[in-house]
């Protein structure tokens, strides 16, 4: 086979072309300027390469960019326009614009092919009118792009349609799935707004199926009466152009004519306006989405229980949510523009615990925002967790101390009996066994308190319910304390006609005994201890008074917490593990009553309430079914004088 001679290269074709060929990249810089372009416009190739082409008049820049955008969407766009020569003379040209992509589909730029018009088909008046329309298009585009609110942009597009194209009325329809919805209109009845119709069978559907960007429909080629646009009397022509957002059809502009005839200029202007409308709508939609996401993110931040702050590169607060203000006590206006009112962790991934001025503990975590230098600070209230840690540590220390003494005594006396039984007389043996029994009882009651406290904490504490003689219970409990201390005087004020109580007598015995024990223990210098009982408003009230160290102001509720003593500054002065009043209040509330305490005038008063008993009646706690687990069935009814149960 005879080899064929190679054909001319693309460069040779461009160089030998009689048409001026100018190629620009995506930044509008000249990449190709053939000899015919030099002859037509007067600039040499070396003068223009790498720079924007100097041939487009200022008033036609918008038109040129619109044509290039249309070419980007596919196909070659041809227009008649004007260009500037190097000597300043305007020449009439026909411009064919195409968009270029390489073999991989990467965008390369545009190619413009120019042919000078010498046949008079583009008179100066036509170009002057075109320039006027282009300037007006610039104004319209600036107007519709001046707002980022979607509804406002749609309304501006509809208003600009009639003004620019000379249409008698118009509107913008939006694609919603397989239907169209009229979302804005001008010079039409307002009741048409919101009208929907199927996409299939519509002019818009026909336009999309054709692959074109504009469509002209007249009464000569179809019936217009069945369209919603028939609201315009005398309607004879409908022109519509596609508005695309991010390369996908979003809606269409409808220009309605009932008077003037429609030509290619109106169609071209409609096409340009539809293209620019797509850009403006894309911006509005992007802004709307940004606002939505920002609002969504702000709602998440505002509703977060964690304090959240955004710091700029200098470490100053830019955002300070509601939880941050509540946790720190610092309002937003006092913090924004300043460093946060707490230290930050040294390492971004390591949390830091810090005690605020108000006594609240927070855990602080910092995360950097990539690429901005900003940091997000998340901090949460860990006061309860911190207190729980301290409670655990305190419990381990105090429980160990409280257990050590009786265990050591029991162990010592038991060892003595084992090793020296034969050398001890009967009296010594009995004393040793008695001591072991007493200390074992102390251990048993200490363990019992721990078990009751655990049940109360977990909500599993339950007590019995029934009528019992509160007067007799108080007298028997008080009798066991009467000789407990020579420095104290125990007085009773319990009327003979006191009605029966409704509740659990064993649990009530524990409560009264604990209140009496605290009264004796926390008045180490002696004094009067008074137990008074009364009926008040259908309830029975028991008050235990002492003249001891008292309850510090502000601690009236704290003393009922776990592992808390009335005098927190010296735990070892009174001993105990701090569960006494915690258990007392839980037992009282389980019976439908309560326990409170306060000090006034040097006298501490602990007030215990119970329901008044009715034979066969039941307490509110029993009516509710209790807490679900048997109550302190092992609770001893005799007074616990030896156990350490701090207030």
Q: pTM value? A: 0.38
Position 445 scores a pLDDT of 61
Q: How confident is the model at residue 310 (pLDDT cuts 50, 70, 90)?
A: confident
How many whole angstroms separate alpha carbon 393 and alpha carbon 619?
Answer: 38
CA-based R_g, the chain, Å? 47
Q: Which of 283, 277, 271 is nearest to 67 (CA)?
A: 271
Q: How confident is the model at residue 404 (pLDDT cuts 50, 70, 90)?
A: low
Q: What percent of the chain has pLDDT over 90?
A: 18
Q: How confident is the model at residue 574 (pLDDT cuts 50, 70, 90)?
A: low
Q: Are 178 and 199 in contact (CB under 8 A)?
A: yes
Position 629 scores a pLDDT of 29
Name the average pLDDT for the chain. Answer: 78
How many whole angstroms separate alpha carbon 242 and alpha carbon 283?
Answer: 17
Per DSSP bridges, beta strands 20-25 and 107-116 are antiparallel
3-state secondary structure of 137: helix
For 565, residues 6+ apart whose C-beta sits below 8 A from its C-beta are 559, 571, 574, 576, 578, 646, 647
Position 8 scores a pLDDT of 59
Q: Out of 178-182, 255-259, 608-612, which region has the weakest mean confidence (pLDDT)?
A: 255-259
Q: How confident is the model at residue 614 (pLDDT cuts 50, 70, 90)?
A: low
Give residue-wise pLDDT tens across range 75-130: 888 888 889 999 888 898 999 999 999 888 899 999 999 998 765 444 444 555 55
Residue 477, phi then psi, degrees to nearest 5: -65, -45
How many whole angstroms separate alpha carbon 498 and alpha carbon 476?
Answer: 15
Q: Out of 278-292, 323-337, 488-502, 503-517, which region has the weakest mean confidence (pLDDT)?
A: 278-292
- Residues 218-233 have a mean pLDDT of 69
Q: Which of 616, 613, 605 is nearest to 473 (CA)?
A: 613
Q: Which of 171, 181, 233, 186 is nearest to 202 (CA)?
A: 181
Position 504 scores a pLDDT of 86
Q: Are 154 and 254 in contact (CB under 8 A)?
A: no
- Residues 554-558 have a mean pLDDT of 88
Residue 204, phi then psi, degrees to nearest 5: -65, -45
Residue 249's H or E segment, with its range, is strand 248-257
Q: Over 60: is that where the pLDDT of 454 sits? A: no
Position 633 scores a pLDDT of 37
Position 223 scores a pLDDT of 64
Q: How confident is the model at residue 393 (pLDDT cuts 50, 70, 90)?
A: low
Position 329 scores a pLDDT of 86
Tokens of 521: 């223990």
Q: Over 80: is that where the pLDDT of 204 sits? A: yes
Residue ranges and CATH numbers for the domains of the chain are 13-120 (3.30.450.20), 132-289 (3.30.450.40), 304-381 (3.30.450.20), 460-623 (3.30.565.10)
How many whole angstroms separate alpha carbon 413 and alpha carbon 410?
Answer: 5
Q: Over 70: is that where the pLDDT of 141 sits? A: no
3-state secondary structure of 257: strand
Q: How far is CA 522 from the centre of its chain?
A: 50
Position 575 scores a pLDDT of 54
Tokens of 622: 């029993």
Position 55 scores a pLDDT of 94
Q: Over 60: is that where the pLDDT of 70 sits? A: yes
Q: Are 546 and 605 in contact (CB under 8 A)?
A: no
Position 185 scores a pLDDT of 86
How many whole angstroms separate alpha carbon 517 and alpha carbon 507?
Answer: 15
Position 514 scores a pLDDT of 84
- Of 188 and 396, more confident: 188
Q: How confident is the model at residue 275 (pLDDT cuts 50, 70, 90)?
A: confident
Tokens of 623: 């009516």
β-sheet bridge partners, residue 98: 111
β-sheet bridge partners, residue 488: 527
Q: How confident is the model at residue 32 (pLDDT cuts 50, 70, 90)?
A: very high
Q: How confident is the model at residue 559 (pLDDT cuts 50, 70, 90)?
A: confident
Position 201 scores a pLDDT of 82
How many whole angstroms separate alpha carbon 319 and alpha carbon 264?
Answer: 55
Q: Are 597 and 577 in contact (CB under 8 A)?
A: no
């Amino acid at each position: 086979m005879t080899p064929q001679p190679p054909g001319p290269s693309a460069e040779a074709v461009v160089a030998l072309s009689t048409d001026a060929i100018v190629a620009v990249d995506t930044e509008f810089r000249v990449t190709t300027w053939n000899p015919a372009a030099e002859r037509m416009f007067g600039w040499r190739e070396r003068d223009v390469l790498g720079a924007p082409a100097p041939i487009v008049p200022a008033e036609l820049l918008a038109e040129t960019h619109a044509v290039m955008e249309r070419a980007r969407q596919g196909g070659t766009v041809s227009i008649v326009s004007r260009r500037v020569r190097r000597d300043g003379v305007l020449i009439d040209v026909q411009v064919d614009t195409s968009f270029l992509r390489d073999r991989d589909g990467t965008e390369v730029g545009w190619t413009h092919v120019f042919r000078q018009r010498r046949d008079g088909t583009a008179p100066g008046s036509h170009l002057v009118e075109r320039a006027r329309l282009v300037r007006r298009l610039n104004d319209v585009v600036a107007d519709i792009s001046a707002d980022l609110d979607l509804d406002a942009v749609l309304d501006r597009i509809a208003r600009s349609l009639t003004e620019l194209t000379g249409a008698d009325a118009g509107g913008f329809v939006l694609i919603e799935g397989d239907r169209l919805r009229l979302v804005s209109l001008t010079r039409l009845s307002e009741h048409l707004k919101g009208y929907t119709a199927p996409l299939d069978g519509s002019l818009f559907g026909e336009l999309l199926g054709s692959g074109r960007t504009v469509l002209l429909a007249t009464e000569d080629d179809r019936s217009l009466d069945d369209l919603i646009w028939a609201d315009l009397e005398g309607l004879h022509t409908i022109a519509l152009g596609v508005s695309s957002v991010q390369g996908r059809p979003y809606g269409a502009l409808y220009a309605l004519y009932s008077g003037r005839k429609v030509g290619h200029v109106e169609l071209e202007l409609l096409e340009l306006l539809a293209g620019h409308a797509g850009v403006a709508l894309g911006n509005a939609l992007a802004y709307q989405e940004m606002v939505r996401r920002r609002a969504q993110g702000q709602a998440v931040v505002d509703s977060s229980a964690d304090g959240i702050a955004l710091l700029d590169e200098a470490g100053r607060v830019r955002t300070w949510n509601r939880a941050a203000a509540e946790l720190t006590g610092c309002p937003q206006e006092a913090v924004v523009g300043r460093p946060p009112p707490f230290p930050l962790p040294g390492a971004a991934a390591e949390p830091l615990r810090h005690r605020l001025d108000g006594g609240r503990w927070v855990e602080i975590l910092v995360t950097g925002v990539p690429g901005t230098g900003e940091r997000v600070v998340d901090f949460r209230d860990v006061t309860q967790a911190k207190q729980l840690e301290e409670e655990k540590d305190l419990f381990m220390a105090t429980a160990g101390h409280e257990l050590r003494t009786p265990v050591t005594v029991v162990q010592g006396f038991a060892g003595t009996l084992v090793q020296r039984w034969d050398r001890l007389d009967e009296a010594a043996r009995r004393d040793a066994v008695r001591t072991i029994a007493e200390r074992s009882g102390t251990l048993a009651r200490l363990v019992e308190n721990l078990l009751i406290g655990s049940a109360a904490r977990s909500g599993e504490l339950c007590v019995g319910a029934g009528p019992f003689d509160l007067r007799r219970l108080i007298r028997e409990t008080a009798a066991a304390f009467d000789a407990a201390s020579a420095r104290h005087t125990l007085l009773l004020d319990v009327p003979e006609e006191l009605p029966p109580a409704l509740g659990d007598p064993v649990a009530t015995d524990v409560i009264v005994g604990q209140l009496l024990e605290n009264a004796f223990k926390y008045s180490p210098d002696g004094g009067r201890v008074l137990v008074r009982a009364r009926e008040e408003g259908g309830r029975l009230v028991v008050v235990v008074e002492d003249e001891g160290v008292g309850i510090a102001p502000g601690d009236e509720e704290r003393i009922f917490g776990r592992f808390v003593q009335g005098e927190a500054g010296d735990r070892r002065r009174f001993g105990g593990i701090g569960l006494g009043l915690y258990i007392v209040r839980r037992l009282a509330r389980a019976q439908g009553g309560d326990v409170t305490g306060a000090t006034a005038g040097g006298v501490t008063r602990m007030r215990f309430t119970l329901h008044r008993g009715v034979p066969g009646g039941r307490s509110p706690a029993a009516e509710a079914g209790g807490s679900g687990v048997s109550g302190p069935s092992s609770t001893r009814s005799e007074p616990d004088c030896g156990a350490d149960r701090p207030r």
